[in-house]
Amino acid sequence: MSRIGKKPVELPGGVSASVSGQTIEVKGPKGTRSFRATDDVTITVDDNVVTIKPRGTSKRARQQWGMSRTQVANLVQGVTEGFKKELEINGVGYRAQLQGKTLKLSLGYSHDVNFEVPEGITITVPKPTEIIVEGNDQQVVGQVAANIRAWRKPEPYKGKGIRYKGEYIFMKAGKKK
């Protein structure tokens, strides 16, 4: 029995869900998201509760049960609160600024890095050394944050680079005389 799959997903006020076949569509204040489940699970919407049940007792059906429930819960969270990743920039002269739909990063290269903000994602720069990536799709928010971080990953000797807020970088000792 899936402990995650057994829990029903509550729909908060202002959020509606509709099922057509194996596709569930969730509408809320931050937009509309949908998820297509495999044929191994059954999705039902009763009042303000979404329940997912496995079809059969096969290993695959049980795997898809918990995963599908988590995907539906992420849809609900995405259209109500949204998802957010915070990045910090460390290093002398490293900074970020937003110019329209382009994030301009100065990361010690001979040129500035221009990062185009994709549709459905909001990027804010409260300080020149902080970047906040927000959106209603968890996967896209994480991928955009990873793409920004990939321009200058934190290095282990001085810790310079772009890191997630709260990320711990294991520091190495430099050369010994």
Give the per-residue pLDDT at 4: 86
Give the per-residue pLDDT at 3: 83
Give the per-residue pLDDT at 13: 87
Alpha carbons 123 and 83: distance in angstroms, whole number: 12
Give the per-residue pLDDT at 5: 85
Give the per-residue pLDDT at 139: 93
Cα pseudo-dihedral 154, 159, 164, 165, rounded to 10: -170
Alpha carbons 136 and 150: distance in angstroms, whole number: 22
* Per-residue confidence in pLDDT tens, the chain, 177 aa: 568 888 999 999 889 999 998 899 999 998 899 999 999 999 999 888 999 999 988 899 988 999 999 999 999 999 999 999 999 999 999 999 999 999 999 999 999 999 999 998 999 999 999 999 999 999 999 999 999 999 999 999 998 999 999 999 999 998 888
Domains of the chain listed by start with CATH number: 3-80 (3.90.930.12), 83-164 (3.90.930.12)
Task: Give the Cβ contact number of residue 54 at 10 Å.
Answer: 20
Indicate the pTM of the whole model: 0.87
132, β-bridge pairs: 86, 124
- Please give the distance of CA 28 from its chain centroid, rounded to a whole number: 17
Give the per-residue pLDDT at 1: 58
